[in-house]
Amino acid sequence: MTEKEENCVELRQSVPGLQMSFIQGTDLFGYVGIEAVLDQMRSKTMKAGFEFNIMVVGQSGLGKSTLVNTLFKSKVSRKSCTPNYEEKISKTVKLHTVSHVIEEKGVKMKLTVIDTPGFGDQINNENCWEPILKYVNEQYEKYLREELHVNRKRRIPDSRVHCCIYFLPATGHRLRPIDVEFLKRLGKIVSIVPIIAKADTLTIEERQEFKERIRQDLAANGIHVYPQKEYDEDPEERILNDRIRESIPFAVVGTDKEHQVNGNKVLGRKTKWGIIEVENVAHCEFANLRDLLIRSHLQDLKDVTHNIHYETYRVRRLNESNMDFSELGLSTCLLLLPAPARRTPTFLVQSE
Ligand SMILES: Nc1nc2c(ncn2[C@@H]2O[C@H](COP(=O)(O)OP(=O)(O)OP(=O)(O)O)[C@@H](O)[C@H]2O)c(=O)[nH]1
Ligand SMILES: [Mg+2]
């Protein structure tokens, strides 16, 4: 019996209702070619490229710029870059964004890095998170306005923050009050990935204990970090994400220097005692962070931003009465109806 025939028998036994149409389908017409849609999607994505916006938050000197450069193996966050957005909203925190197009094997990614120099650097850091929350919400607002416009663009430019990497200093203690205050607020509107910066300053035991204490503090303060359990889509994803949740926050080391180790070029930090290899999982958890952000969860970060965080903003905004829709060329009466009624206008008519 061929493999195909074996599969048919198996299917006939397990799904009696479905067996005939399936068997007829394969026998009479053979291969249909539905899977080719994957190639079509791939070629469309390659042509169009995609946007990925990443925010880095943490005190001065914690290695934010170095880590972004380590992640994308380029001088993405170089100080000499001309920023495409710079706003000194408050006396303390500035926001500084730089965009780059990175191309790899024909896939183009427009990467925007939002840096937040000055965060938490003052003696009095009261409300220092305000400009950051404002920036995140402004990007949702921009997207919403584009989406609501009568003559909207075919592809809405996406400046929404897909991920915020939060740098914790390697103190070995616990979360500080500023971390708790900031993460509590930001976790409600954006996906946060907390990391322990400059982890080479901790011993293995200190690192493990610090990670454990941070996880306890995050849970005790009801702080949501990425990936959130509630948004796991299936058991397979849950198993993978549980493993990530168990090792968060990643203890990372950054560098923009290469060194020779056993004849190979590696990214590393040279110390008197040897080379800390940034991408070596035995030395630090940089590779886990890179894999999460780029190799395994990049699309999910974009999906969570759109389907959860932006959606929450959109629903709240459309239920508010101070939105000026006239400038978008829209009738206010339709949009100001409560969200469920807007989706099912027939129901409204029937109940009247
Ligand atoms: N030991 C150690 N030093 C690091 C690490 N990452 C960066 N550094 C060093 O820390 C210093 C500050 O790094 P930056 O990347 O400029 O820090 P930053 O957070 O961008 O600082 P601001 O731009 O001032 O907010 C540099 O001398 C880096 O070489 C690390 O993982 N371990
Ligand atoms: Mg910097």
Q: How far is the CA of 78 from the centre of ligand 1 (A)?
A: 12
Low-confidence ranges of the chain (pLDDT < 50): 8-9, 11-12, 15-25, 75, 78-82, 88-91, 333-334, 336-352
Residue 40 lies in a domain: no
Same domain, 72 and 158: yes
Same domain, 83 and 164: yes
What's the pLDDT tens digit per position in 230-251? 999 899 999 999 999 999 999 9
Residue 13 lies in a domain: yes
Give dist(CA 158, CA 149) in Å, integer: 15
Q: How far is the CA of 280 from the centre of ligand 2 (A)?
A: 24
Pairing verdict, β 258-261 and 264-271: antiparallel
Same domain, 346 and 240: no
pLDDT value, residue 190: 97
Residue 42 lies in a domain: no
Same domain, 299 and 325: no
User: Which of 59, 64, 65, 66 for mutating ligand 1's site (highest number of atoms within 8 Å of CB)?
Assistant: 66
Give dist(CA 307, CA 85) in Å, integer: 26
Same domain, 301 and 331: no
Identify the DSSP state of 307: I
Same domain, 294 and 334: no
Closest CA to 335 of 347, 317, 312: 317
Same domain, 27 and 122: no
Closest ligand 1 atom to 254 CA: 31
Same domain, 121 and 265: yes
Ligand nearest to the CA of 117: 1
Residue 207 lies in a domain: yes
pLDDT value, residue 343: 37
The CATH number linked to 302 is 3.40.50.300
Same domain, 290 and 306: yes
Question: Which structural domain range is residue 205 located in?
Answer: 49-312
Q: What value does the CA radius of gyration of the chain take, rounded to a whole number of Å? A: 25
User: Which residues surround ligand 1 with Cβ inside 6 Å?
Assistant: 60-66, 117, 198, 200, 253-254, 269
pLDDT value, residue 152: 86
Residue 39 lies in a domain: no
The token pair that represents 105 in the structure block: 């094997």
Residue 72, Ramachandran bin (φ over 0: left; ψ between -120 and 50: alpha; else beta): alpha
Residue 218 lies in a domain: yes
How many domains does the chain divide into? 3
pLDDT value, residue 202: 92
pLDDT value, residue 74: 65
Q: How far is the CA of 250 from the centre of ligand 1 (A)?
A: 17
pLDDT value, residue 2: 54
Same domain, 169 and 188: yes
Q: How far is the CA of 140 from the centre of ligand 1 (A)?
A: 31
Same domain, 11 and 160: no
Same domain, 308 and 328: no
Give dist(CA 272, CA 290) in Å, integer: 27
Residue 124 lies in a domain: yes
Burial class (CB in 10 A: 0-12, 13-18, 19+), 350: exposed
Residue 37 lies in a domain: no
